[in-house]
Structure 1
């Protein structure tokens, strides 16, 4: 400690992830933050910006930061003992990378820290680097310091999520994890270099319980990231990446049969081109994609298309305590620019715990299992980050809405839960109906069979289960129209699919207080996907009011204007 402050040296402190870590910890008056890198000028500029935050950075900073800040020059290829002795940090965090290319002595920074009794942590995503740090365990224990590698999304957060799901299982057979960055987040060059280094190259995985060689950025799996209670990310393919989890999981999960770690980027068309390039490497038509790292980075920046949302998933399959086959999935969605903070939240949690006197055990090891999911979730509250666990029993039928909502079902008010409890049931009430006057609106309403406008119209709705779908028959003042609902398949998984005549509308179920909002996420006409910006929209929700189920449905679009709007209440008979 220096002057009562914990001295933290961040190598790569003005970079993509080191800079975000500095922003997260800048409010802590018990810290001395040393922003380090090869360029003292860049470090100075970053510290000046941090002291006078502007734009997006201002949300996580202030002019009175609290932490003591200093820009310093640091060269990992220089005299490490001299530099560390002069700077006197209590903890070194290496946020530079890429750890895949640290040369013949990749652990020289770690060794120097141990020699000088300095604690160490990093954000490494290199399987070899993270898995191999245990070779320094005896030295670290003898010195009474810790050296934790991979304190990032993979493996620290992924293992924390897996540990939270593990009590549901008697046996875990498969584990898959993946990261889906927002297309609008600027990916750092070091990240691109790391990924491109193993494109088309063998990646060690487990298949049928045996070591096998997957193909980097070629092998894939399709996943819909859908935390309970929020609109899911668009379904996407995840390409196999070489992450530390692949080496660590077999050591932590006895009897594990299969493993996968992947990345799913948007736009998917660009990712498919990357997969094709990886195949050229596998066919030995190209030696490596690493020389094209800058081109790949520029392409990802130039073609930033899609929603500004990112996510992550960890999925486990196996048997529960009663021998039933289950799949459990922890999913996370980060809105806007919040996603790139996730890889550094583990280090932030470690530092704040250390300031409270909670110190990791001495020794050198991967950071898998070092933090709990609760440690991460506490930090998520500062951001627009939502996460949650879904548990699916393969042989157990559940009511449609409960199946889609997962654990968010518990958030529904009693009146809404009763309406969506499944089975055959009848509800009746009153409604007010408005109709659009445009030609196209009247044509669409006629095709579907929407009722005419009216006030205080008697309404009855019959819900009937039909296999894995529900048929809703609505009667407004003697006028009947019908739709059926089911869970979306494939890319529409975790969405509610409702079919009105030739139209299929995909809806996200989003609980908000006493309401359940239905948000349009896609639509089709005669099976043909149509542009989302032309989709039928409007405010549609259900809510409990005075103990009754109330509904508000609005259907319209850019081409049609208002088609129909009906609202009212129902009670079960």
Structure 2
């Protein structure tokens, strides 16, 4: 009998880490250990899994190589990755333990290639961004634009239902850029717009209208680098309830005016306020990817992919890429040693069976010969 594939999930009791643990627990040959700062929370998650994982009290900003050495793979699902320390990566290199994270911090992902030389010397694979963006979004774009001659516009959006569980790390990640200048590719060039600005409404098939505002993510840079759109590459997210979404846009004003450096110190208070509204709204989440350009025959084309996750299944979506990476490492299909961004690394087929099992529906629609004008322009600072 072969030895088990030992996986350490840091942040194993969090919104995303706990869901990854539940899905990975069903993987043949995988032996899990859940790590985090609060043992009681880890034990509560472990108690619902079979076989029951071990738990390890661990602060991700004080990780020692000896903590990682017993494992075949470490996954950092803790966050927030905005202004996050690199201690887990340093420990992974020192212990020669392969590493995967769910990072959504723009600077964190941009700085990740700096570890490439060290990872190659140590013979270790490091992977960042194994989450909804860029792993899933690029898998979708790779399929929908296969054979196209060129891409004009890309627009991606994530819209959780109001009743979806929310954690402090997610709120801190959002507040880290609200009201601050965000660099986006629009109208054929780079522009700066206020974080959580450009507020508008998006029509989502099967969901209805949702609020949307611009976010600061690695996606904007990666979309331009990989797909070279001629006009725009935009990323939005939205809160279902207008009182919360537009209220956050209003709270951004002191940051935009320079009266506050950041809203992040108010994360716990804002999280508490948002939880007062949990009885309202819905449990329906969505993710959209839209692209316009020229197909293989040079005709204008528009492709639109929509994911719908009801019954609060939405928080499972960000962990599906990490689940796919666990399988790859377990089965000997790990990337070469080095520091890699998980953009174009996974195919959409590596997500589809898991989405179907979870009851998450996704559809892809194409319109050939559609008008090639730019996407509907949005206000620069709503």
Q: When the two structures are superposed, what TM-score results if normalisation uses the length of structure 1?
A: 0.62
Aligned-partner Cα distance in 2 for 1:170–1:279: 42
**Alignment coverage as a number of residue pairs:** 370
Unaligned runs of 5+ in 1: 52-64, 227-231, 397-573
Alignment match, 1:376: 351
CA contact (8 A) 1:34 1:69 kept: yes
Q: Distance in 1 between matches of 2:37 and 2:243?
A: 37
What secondary structure sits across from 1:224 in the alignment? strand
**Higher RCO, 1 vs 2 (CA within 8 Å, ≥6 residues apart):** 2
> Are 1:289 and 2:263 matched, yes or no?
yes
For 2:2 and 2:218, locate their aligned partners in 1 and report how far apart those are by CA, in whole Å: 37
2:56 aligns to what? 72
The 5 A counterparts of 1:461-540 are none
Specify the alignment match of 1:217 in structure 2. Answer: 196
2:172 pairs, out of 185, 189, 193, with: 193
Mapped partners of 2:319, 2:55: distance in 1: 20
Q: Determine which structure has the larger strand proportion and give its number.
A: 1
8 Å CA contact retained: 1:186, 1:301: no
Following TM superposition, by how much is the alpha carbon of 1:89 offset from its aligned partner in structure 2, in angstroms? 0.9
Question: 1:27 matched to which residue of 2?
Answer: 26
Aligned equivalent of 2:77, options 95, 102, 105? 95
Residues 1:239 and 2:213 are matched in the alignment: yes
Structure 1: 4+ residue segments shifted above 6 A = none
Q: CA deviation at 1:375?
A: 0.6
**Which residue of 157, 162, 178 corresponds with 2:157?**
178
Calculate the aligned-residue CA RMSD, in Å.
1.9
* Residues 46 and 55 in structure 2, CA contact (< 8 A), matched pair in contact too: yes
Task: Spell out, residue by residue over 1:243-295, the C-alpha distance to the aligned partner (whole angstroms, 9 max, x if none).
Answer: 11112112111354212111121112321111121133212243322122123
Mapping for residues 52-451 of structure 1, pairs under 5 Å? 65-66=50-51, 69-78=53-62, 80-85=64-69, 88-102=70-84, 106-167=85-146, 169-226=148-205, 232-304=206-278, 305-393=280-368, 395=370
What TM-score results when the alignment is normalised by the length of structure 2?
A: 0.91
1:11 aligns to what?
A: 10
Q: Structure 1 residues 315 and 168, CA, compared in 2 at 3 Å: closer, same or farther?
A: farther
- The whole-number CA distance in structure 2 between the counterparts of 1:255 and 1:390 is 20
Contact kept? 2:61, 2:87, Cα under 8 Å: no
**Partner of 1:100: helix, strand, or coil?**
coil
Change (3 A) 1:118 1:153: same
Contact 1:225 1:332 in 2 (8 A): no
Task: Show CA shifts across 1:300-340 (max 9, x none).
Answer: 22213223210001111122223332221111000112110
Higher-Rg member (1/2): 1
Name structure 2 gaps, 5 residues minimum. 372-382
Is the CA contact (8 Å cut-off) linking 1:131 and 1:248 kept in structure 2?
no
**3-state secondary structure, aligned to 2:82:** helix
**1:46-65, CA deviations, whole angstroms, 9 ceiling, x for partnerless residues?**
322x24xxxxxxxxxxxxx2
